[in-house]
Structure 1
Amino acid sequence: MTLEGEQVIVDAADPVALSRWWAEALGRVTVADAPDEYEIRPVPDRMPGLLFVPVPERKTVKNRLHLDFRPDDQEAEVERLLALGARRADVGQGDQTWVTPADPEDNEFCVLGARRG
């Protein structure tokens, strides 16, 4: 059996705005922009994509699945994401080597520190 990841689905109150935020944050391109699904990918033919779909309810609790990113410079990247509209999130992580921001619709994600040798 072979499975290939196609997309990560992101429920959103405003899929267009949220997908545009993530496209800017990650340097991704838009490959689908229908009102009911808005997809971004690293490049048009490379997967997985992030597919944003509308839902009527807003997020109310901590995400059970989240994305982790490892930048070259954690501090600079966190500051860049905050300037784009992310906010710092407290999900009970305590003092860690990673930083937990949340996107404009409060979806938490992690910005990791330097990879250990």
Structure 2
Amino acid sequence: MTVSLHHIVIDAHDLPALARFWAGVLQWRVLSEREREVVIGPDENAPVGICFMPVTDRKVVKNRLHLDLNPGADDRQAEIDRILALGGRRVDIGQTGTETWTVLADPEGNEFCVLRPKSTLTA
């Protein structure tokens, strides 16, 4: 038997609000909402979802793990603007200005990147 990725877990102070933000960004939906766990995904049978779990301490350093988002063939800047309108914000983690990605953060400060459009995992 082979293991597979089931959930990406994100610690959160406000589980429902952060889940709604990410559901909006990814155009997914909330699949399960409990007091100590909120799960989002494209549908209940999707191979991977995101699970939000409660945390009491606040984020103080750059994430050790972050998500890279592929804007597809659509307008990358339009996707960045859409994410900013949902509550994301631009962050500076030492970029030089020549990167092919834009660093943003969700409402609780978790960094993520919007890449240039990609068609493969390695290109």
Q: Output the TM-score relative to the length of structure 1.
A: 0.94
Which of residues 76, 92, 103 in structure 2 aligns to 1:74? 76
Where does 1:4-43 land on structure 2 (aligned, <5 Å)?
A: 4-43=4-43
Aligned length: 117
CA offset at residue 30 of structure 1?
Answer: 1.4
Contact residue 16 and residue 35 of structure 1 kept, 8 A: no
Please give the alpha-carbon distance, in whole angstroms, between the structure 1 residues aligned to 2:38 and 2:100. Answer: 33
Structure 2: any 5+ residue segments left out of the alignment? none
Q: Secondary structure at the match of 1:90?
A: coil
- C-alpha separation in 2, matches of 1:49 and 1:88: 25
TM norm structure 2: 0.89
Whole-Å separation in 1 of the counterparts to 2:48 and 2:75: 24
| Counterpart-to-counterpart distance in 1, 2:56 and 2:82 | 30
Counterpart of 1:61 in 2: which secondary structure? Answer: coil
Q: Residue in 2 aligned with 1:83? A: 85
Determine the C-alpha separation between the residues in 2 that align with 1:82 and 1:104.
10
Runs of 4+ in 1 over 6 A off after TM superposition: none
Structure 1: which 5+ residue stretches go unaligned?
none
Cα root mean square deviation, aligned: 1.4
